[in-house]
Amino acid sequence: MREAADMANAERAAIHLGDEAERTGCGMLTR
Model pLDDT, residue 11: 87
Model pLDDT, residue 30: 53
Model pLDDT, residue 16: 74
Model pLDDT, residue 12: 86
- In angstroms, the Cα distances linking 26 to 2, 5, 6, 11, 15 are 32, 28, 26, 19, 14
Q: Is the pTM of this model over 0.75?
A: no
The more confidently predicted of residues 11 and 14 is 11
Domain assignments of the chain as residue spans, ordered by start: 1-31
- Average pLDDT, integer, range 14-26: 71
